Amino acid sequence: MKFAIASLAHETNTYAVDVTGYTERHHFDVKCGNELLRFAGMRTFLGGMIDECNRRGIEIVPIFSAFAPPSGIIKTDVYLEFREAILKGLRDNPDIDALVLEIHGAGVADGFPDMEGDLITAIREVVGPTLPVTAALDLHGNISLAMTTQFTALFGNHLYPHTDSADRGAEAVSAAVDALNATTKPVTELVSLPILLQASTTDEGFPAAEMNKICSTIESRPGVIDCTVFHGFPFTDTADVGVHVVCTTDNDRTLAKECANEVAQWIWDSRERFTTESHTPDSAMLVAASLIAGGKRPIVINDTSDNPGGGTPGDGTHLLGAMLEHQIPGSAFAMLCDPIAVKEAISAGVGNSIELTIGGRHGPLHGPPLKVQAKIRTISDGRIFLTHMMRGYPLNVGPAVGIRVGEVDVILTSQPSQTFDSEIFKLHGIDTSECSVVGLKSSAHFRAGFNHIAAEILCADSPGLTTLDVTNFTHAAFTGKLWPTDPNTEWTHS
């Protein structure tokens, strides 16, 4: 057997265009041909696909991959170039038995609001209607009918943090094998809900964990291949925004529809429970101080409103400002993206103190720039390997520095990134398990890397491009009402 693999993955925050502009060619990490095989062994979608092909003795035809961190709308010519790279790879390899694709599901290019729907339509024009084309994708995908009717099957993350990406990649390969051998004839039904879901971790004790249990019970029913809830990406103004239940069965559309409706009804009835408990940055610091006084540490506080993992600039200062004001000894914060401040700190040199202005360079939404007296403690190249979510993935946040402001350690980077685990702290000589407060930018992925060390986790929300308050965003491209923006939104299953 000969399987082509390819990837085009971007989570597009359409509102970010006003803050950080469009997403350009240079934002993407592009790999061609055999370069894709470097992902082998990583706990990522491509890693899982490659490992599963190798395990089954399937010959891999690696075509193309392009990935950029979440950001604004992709420029039209950039998307068209990437689409053509994939299509050319397919035209050049007419003897493949299947295509296994990594996508995100919430990609938007200028003029292509349903980017993945357009991509699969273009792929079908090359490979025809019957070649197995499966995909592994993010649970924040805004799933369209163009996708569910044209992919042979879709395998979305079940978990948030997405620690199961490699498993879903492997599943996409297995499903393509089964479709090819005619062991199964996958059919997929989509049921969409008019809900803008806040960041909802699937960790034990949260409602999304219960939702997953219902899906796994359904998956154990005879004939069901996959049942997944896509939380959707609320920071996108497209016609397909919302929560989506996707169920794939072995040639039984009625069963697929019934199962998807069953899960969708549970979500609709439970929607109020998905409201995440949060603090303001200041109230989070007050709670942290009293927990620390009671002997608990470290207290992990996540800045969910400026989460570069959702397309924000990563230089927001709402939480960091509160940490600097409260000055709890042993506090540490990572990462604040500010390449200008990094350069200044590097020229000042380790051991010296300088006045620095940090953060807040993209307008007032994410907080003002902060003027600080900073002692330069460490300088690094900002290269780490992730240890929990996406384990093994090499993350490069560019030149970085560790500074101390009063009692607080702050790590400044040249590229925005959410904080997945403690590696960026370690790189700058900070042991997070010894900290009093660990402040970071992330909505839920950090949990995979911090649950085991945190005495307590507090979520700090404030204005921002990924605030929990999804009602701040206007969804002009969506037809109808959306909950909770319009509390009178109604839904009944078809």
The contact set with Zn ion (CB under 5 A) reads 138, 140
Residue that has been written with the tokens 């000969």 in this structure:
2
Q: At what angle do helices 253-270 and 207-219 cross, to 10 degrees?
A: 160
Under 8 Å CB-to-CB from 128, ≥6 apart: which residues? none
Nearer to Zn ion, 140 or 257 (CB): 140
Question: Within 13 A of 25's CA, how many CA atoms are on the CB side?
Answer: 7
Min CB(195)–Zn ion separation in Å: 16
SS3 469: coil
Residue that has been written with the tokens 């492997």 in this structure:
170
Residue 12, token pair as written in the block: 């597009």
Min CB(2)–Zn ion separation in Å: 31
Nearer to Zn ion, 140 or 244 (CB): 140
Min CB(450)–Zn ion separation in Å: 17
486, amino acid identity: D
Min CB(160)–Zn ion separation in Å: 6
Nearer to Zn ion, 318 or 445 (CB): 445
Residue nearest to Zn ion (CB): 140
Rounded to whole angstroms, the Cα distance separating 90 from 140 reads: 27
Alpha carbon 370 to its chain's center: 28
393, amino acid identity: Y
Handedness of CA 240, 244, 250, 253 (dihedral sign): negative
Min CB(345)–Zn ion separation in Å: 32
Nearer to Zn ion, 193 or 444 (CB): 444
Polymer length in residues for the chain: 494
The helix (H) or strand (E) run that includes residue 217 is helix 207-219
Nearer to Zn ion, 103 or 410 (CB): 103
Min CB(153)–Zn ion separation in Å: 19
Residue that has been written with the tokens 């075509």 in this structure:
63
Min CB(189)–Zn ion separation in Å: 22
Residue 295, token pair as written in the block: 């002997």
Q: Taking Cα atoms as reference points, which of 446, 457, 440, 470 lies closest to residue 316?
A: 440
Q: What are phi and psi of 475, to 5 degrees?
A: -110, 75
Residue 151, token pair as written in the block: 């992919």
Rounded to whole angstroms, the Cα distance separating 311 from 307 reads: 7
115, amino acid identity: M
Min CB(139)–Zn ion separation in Å: 6
CA–CA distances in Å: residue 237 to residues 124, 242, 398, 411, 477: 26, 10, 31, 33, 6
Nearer to Zn ion, 102 or 138 (CB): 138
Nearer to Zn ion, 106 or 193 (CB): 106
Min CB(140)–Zn ion separation in Å: 4
Give the other-Cβ count within 10 Å of 140's Cβ. Answer: 25
Min CB(22)–Zn ion separation in Å: 21
The beta strands (E) that lie in 159-273 are given as: 186-193, 224-230, 243-250
Give the other-Cβ count within 10 Å of 100's Cβ. Answer: 34
Nearer to Zn ion, 307 or 380 (CB): 307
Residue 305, token pair as written in the block: 């409103």
Nearer to Zn ion, 116 or 138 (CB): 138
Can you say whether residue 12 is alpha, beta or left, with left for phi > 0 and alpha for psi between -120 and 50 degrees? Answer: beta
Nearer to Zn ion, 232 or 321 (CB): 232
Min CB(231)–Zn ion separation in Å: 8
Nearer to Zn ion, 140 or 168 (CB): 140
